[in-house]
């Protein structure tokens, strides 16, 4: 009898173990991962799969010119609606902007800029913030006091206002936006990381490392940093969405990515002028792209947070 | 209590000093204030002239001391374009921002708090999932996109609401008749920008209300009230709600300050003449003192209101003053 029970128990554990990897797969947030994968794919392959260039107007057919200007030859047709509208055409599926450029192609190239800027900016910010947080938490005393007071002061200004101030002295430019995002967002990491390190440094493995005479640098990089990576990853994924919005806002205000580059925020601000003439698609399509990217980043961040923090699992 | 207030005041002054020092240093380290004007293609002599006018040719420590001295005296610089003190322009615009901020604040509470409560009371059900979806959409769809879509629907297609400006009502410090009426006029102009601005924050309010309510519903005193046989509506509506609102109100207070200062893009879209549009005007006019002045004014306002919130919080909750 007893052996039979044991066998059943053993079987149950085996089957549970075997199911485990699959369960993780099933719990993966499929929709946001799919959106991010598609956007990354489009961004990487934009030069190959985009139907038109990002900066040059689309060459119109004589019929399109005739309909718009009443002449057979014209350099470009601006403000063409998406393909389902009567004046639309499948060569420019999402219409053309005020310079006759293809909206779909520009959106594809825009994915490059948005992902590049938001990811690099957030990574650099995460690196600085983690370092500051670990230093403050582990070194304690004056380091802690000074670094945390600076972090607090840094956190006072709303990120958009801060970013606008910095962009006014940097001027527009893709790398300037990356620098600004790094400068604005590092403080969001250091506060959380410091709290984490304060608890970690009282733990036995850190104490033992200290007793063994291991150098502070080594303790920080080998023992503390790997242990705060969970927190950093969660913050990172939640921060990417904010970074995308800040980049779009700066570009919208004309101090982010400079024209004629196709940043989504910039495309929205260019499309805004045509809203009154009824050309809604110029502002709506980039807006949908921004929203989808931020939405999936936030969903991934929420998923990671729940995954990495068992206490939150049922909330 | 007195000791606590003094401590918080000292802390606020330190934060403020660090903040202006950071602004001073970053502006000089990461770029060049004159750069904004240089981009028109002005010649070196002209730039040198501006540099002199703004005192940027002096040694850094001299600049820093005079920068601090001016700020202590309440001088936030002069607008280059309008040749007026930034503080005066800012304070003149502030009522418009307050009006927009309060309206957006009310909208965020009206959407966020009831939905958050339903989410918490029906935790794990379809209601809860719907609440989560609303919160996620609120935090993910940027307010300026919501604003543009509102303009397309209600401004262009339906033509129900005015798209630009704040209407004819003005707030004037000298004219007492406007002190009251200003806040209640031209709501048609207010509706779209306030919703676009409040949208984002309603997602945040929903999440905080939900988790606050869940925390309180799990406490012993709520269980005891239920054991007593008190009707469920009174348990949640009276006993639980009061304590659940404490975190909500703290965050709501902070959100209100942030909304007033961070509505830059929405004010640009709706041409709403608040402090955000002032910041944008500074950018487009290549008016660096204006940009810096508005940012510093925002910083001062936020630190000041943080201080007030801290003190009020300690007044309401005695535990706070003992731990600090």
d(CA B222, CA B12) in angstroms, rounded, equals: 37
Q: Which two tokens stand for residue A251?
A: 């570009």
Q: Which residue of A has its CA nearest to B211?
A: A315
Q: What is the pLDDT of residue A3?
A: 44
- First-to-last CA distance in chain B? 11
Which position has the higher pLDDT, A291 or A14?
Answer: A291
d(CA B120, CA B143) in angstroms, rounded, equals: 26
Q: What is the pLDDT of residue A13?
A: 46
Indicate the pLDDT class of residue A311, thresholds 50, 70 and 90.
Answer: low
ipTM of the complex: 0.85
Per-residue pLDDT, averaged over B84-92, amounts to: 85
Interchain CB distance below 8 Å, A275 and B142: no
Q: Reply yes or no on whether the pLDDT at A160 is more than 60.
A: yes
Element (H, E) at A20: helix A2-27
d(CA A285, CA A272) in angstroms, rounded, equals: 12
Residues B209-223 have pLDDT tens digits of 888 888 888 888 888
Indicate the pLDDT class of residue A125, thresholds 50, 70 and 90.
Answer: very high
Residues A10-43 have pLDDT tens digits of 444 444 445 565 666 666 778 888 888 888 888 8
Residues A132-146 have pLDDT tens digits of 999 988 887 888 888
Token pair 């972090």 in the structure block, residue:
A151
Q: Which residues have a Cβ under 8 Å from the Cβ of A218 and sit 6 or more positions away?
A: A209
- The percent of residues above 90 in pLDDT, for chain B, comes to 2
Interchain CB distance below 8 Å, A170 and B31: yes
Residues paired with residue B78 on neighbouring β-strands, in sequence order: B85
Per-residue pLDDT, averaged over A158-174, amounts to: 86
Per-residue pLDDT, averaged over B297-323, amounts to: 79
Residues paired with residue A96 on neighbouring β-strands, in sequence order: A102
Interchain CB distance below 8 Å, B156 and A157: no
d(CA A189, CA A236) in angstroms, rounded, equals: 8
Within 8 A of A264 by CB-CB distance, chain B residues are none
Which position has the higher pLDDT, A312 or B177?
Answer: B177
Per-residue pLDDT, averaged over B90-102, amounts to: 87
CA distance B147 to chain A (A): 11
Write b or e for each residue in A276-300: b if 16 or more Cβ atoms lie within 10 A of its Cβ, otherwise e: eeebbbbbbbbbebbbbbbbbbbbb
CATH number 1.10.3720.10 is the correct assignment for the domain at A40-52+109-313: yes
Domain ranges of chain A: 40-52+109-313, 57-100
Q: What is the pLDDT of residue B308?
A: 85
Burial of A88 (0-12, 13-18, 19+ CB in 10 A): middle
CA distance B129 to chain A (A): 11
Q: Which two tokens stand for residue A212?
A: 């063994």
Cis peptide before A81 (omega within 30 of 0): no
Write the DSSP assignment of A292-308 as a string of letters. Answer: HHHHHHHHHHHHHHHHH
Residues B187-207 have pLDDT tens digits of 778 888 899 999 888 888 888
Q: What is the pLDDT of residue A5?
A: 44
According to DSSP, residue B133 is labeled H
Which pairs with CB-CB distance under 8 Å and at least 24 residues apart come from B127-131? Answer: B131/B206, B131/B210
Per-residue pLDDT, averaged over B84-94, amounts to: 85
Q: What is the pLDDT of residue B162?
A: 76
- CB contact B269 to A (< 8 Å): yes
Write b or e for each residue in A161-185: b if 16 or more Cβ atoms lie within 10 A of its Cβ, otherwise e: bbbbbbbbbbebbbebbbbbbbbbb
**Is the alpha carbon torsion for A133, A138, A141, A142 positive or negative?**
negative
Residues B126-156 have pLDDT tens digits of 888 888 888 888 888 988 899 888 888 887 7
A15: left (phi over 0), alpha (psi -120 to 50) or beta: alpha
Q: What is the pLDDT of residue A24?
A: 63
How long is chain A? 315
Q: Which two tokens stand for residue A177?
A: 């936006």
Residues B238-248 have pLDDT tens digits of 788 877 887 78
According to DSSP, residue A100 is labeled S
Query: Are A53 and A36 in contact, with CB atoms under 8 Å apart?
Result: no
Interchain CB distance below 8 Å, A158 and B261: yes
Distance of CA B278 to the CA centre of its chain: 15
Question: What does the mean pLDDT of chain A come to?
Answer: 80
Which position has the higher pLDDT, B55 or B268?
Answer: B268
Write the DSSP assignment of B144-196 as a string of letters. Answer: HHHHHHHIIIIIIIS--S--SS--S----TT-HHHHHHGGGS-HHHHHHHHHH
Q: Which residue of B has its CA nearest to A147?
A: B18
Query: Are B286 and B33 in contact, with CB atoms under 8 Å apart?
Result: no
- CB contact A217 to B (< 8 Å): no
- Residue in A183, A300, A186, A283 with CA at minimum distance from that of residue A241: A300
Q: What is the pLDDT of residue A313?
A: 47
- CB contact B151 to A (< 8 Å): yes
Residues A41-69 have pLDDT tens digits of 888 887 887 777 777 777 777 667 766 66
Q: Among B18, B136, B144, select the one facing A149 at the smallest CB separation.
A: B18
- CB contact A272 to B (< 8 Å): yes
Question: What does the mean pLDDT of chain B come to?
Answer: 82
Q: What is the pLDDT of residue A255?
A: 86
Residues A197-217 have pLDDT tens digits of 888 888 888 888 888 888 888
């Amino acid at each position: 009898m007893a052996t039979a029970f044991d066998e059943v128990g053993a079987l149950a554990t085996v089957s549970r173990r075997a199911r485990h990897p699959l369960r993780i797969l099933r719990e993966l947030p499929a929709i946001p991962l799919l959106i991010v994968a598609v956007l990354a794919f489009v961004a990487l392959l934009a030069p190959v799969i985009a139907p038109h260039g990002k900066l040059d107007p689309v060459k119109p057919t004589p019929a399109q010119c005739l309909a718009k200007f009443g002449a057979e030859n014209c350099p470009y047709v601006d403000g063409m609606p998406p393909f389902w509208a009567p004046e639309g055409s499948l060569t420019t599926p999402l219409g053309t902007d005020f310079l006759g450029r293809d909206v779909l192609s520009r959106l594809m190239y825009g994915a490059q800029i948005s992902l590049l800027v938001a990811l690099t900016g957030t990574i650099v910010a995460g690196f600085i913030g983690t370092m500051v947080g670990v230093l403050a938490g582990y070194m304690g005393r004056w380091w802690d006091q000074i670094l945390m007071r600076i972090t607090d002061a840094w956190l006072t200004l709303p990120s958009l206002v801060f970013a606008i101030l910095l962009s006014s002295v940097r001027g527009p430019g893709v790398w300037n936006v990356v620098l600004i995002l790094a400068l604005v967002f590092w403080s969001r990491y250091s506060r959380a990381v410091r709290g984490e390190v304060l608890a970690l440094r009282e733990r036995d493995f850190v104490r033992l490392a200290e007793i063994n005479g291991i150098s502070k640098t080594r303790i920080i990089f080998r023992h503390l940093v790997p242990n705060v990576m969970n927190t950093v990853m969660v913050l990172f994924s939640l921060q990417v969405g904010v970074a995308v919005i800040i980049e779009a806002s700066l570009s919208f205000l004309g101090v982010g990515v400079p024209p004629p580059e196709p940043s989504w925020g910039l495309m929205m601000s260019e499309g805004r002028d045509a809203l009154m003439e009824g050309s809604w698609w110029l502002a709506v399509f980039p807006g949908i792209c921004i929203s989808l990217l931020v939405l999936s980043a936030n969903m991934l961040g929420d998923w990671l947070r729940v995954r990495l923090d068992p206490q939150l699992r049922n909330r | 209590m007195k000791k606590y207030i003094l401590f918080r005041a000292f802390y606020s002054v330190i934060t403020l000093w660090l903040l202006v020092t950071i602004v001073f240093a970053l502006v000089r380290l990461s770029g060049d204030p004159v750069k904004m004007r240089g981009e028109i293609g002005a010649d070196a002599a002209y730039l040198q002239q501006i540099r002199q006018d703004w005192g940027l040719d002096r040694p850094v420590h001299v600049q820093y001391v005079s920068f601090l001295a001016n700020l202590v005296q309440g001088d936030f610089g002069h607008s280059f374009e309008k040749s007026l003190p930034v503080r005066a322009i800012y304070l003149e615009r502030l009522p418009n921002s307050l009006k927009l901020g309060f309206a957006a604040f009310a909208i965020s509470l009206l959407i966020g708090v009831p939905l958050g409560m339903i989410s918490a009371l029906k935790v794990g059900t379809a209601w809860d999932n719907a609440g989560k979806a609303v919160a996620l959409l609120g935090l993910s769809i940027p307010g300026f996109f919501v604003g543009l879509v509102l303009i397309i629907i209600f401004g262009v297609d339906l033509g129900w609401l005015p798209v630009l400006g704040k209407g004819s009502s003005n707030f004037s410090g000298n004219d007492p008749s406007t002190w009251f009426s200003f806040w209640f006029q031209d709501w048609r102009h207010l509706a779209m920008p306030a919703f676009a601005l409040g949208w984002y924050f309603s997602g945040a309010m929903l999440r905080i209300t939900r988790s606050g309510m869940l925390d309180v519903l799990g406490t012993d005193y709520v269980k005891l009230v239920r054991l007593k046989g008190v009707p469920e509506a009174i348990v949640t509506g009276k006993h639980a709600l009061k304590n659940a609102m404490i975190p909500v109100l703290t965050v709501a207070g902070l959100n209100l300050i942030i909304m007033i200062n961070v509505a830059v893009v929405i004010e640009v879209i709706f041409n709403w003449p608040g402090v955000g549009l002032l910041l944008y005007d500074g950018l487009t006019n290549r008016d660096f003192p204006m940009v810096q002045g508005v940012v510093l004014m925002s910083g001062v306002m936020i630190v000041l209101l943080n201080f007030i919130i801290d003190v009020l919080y300690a007044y309401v909750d005695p535990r706070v003053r003992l731990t600090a």
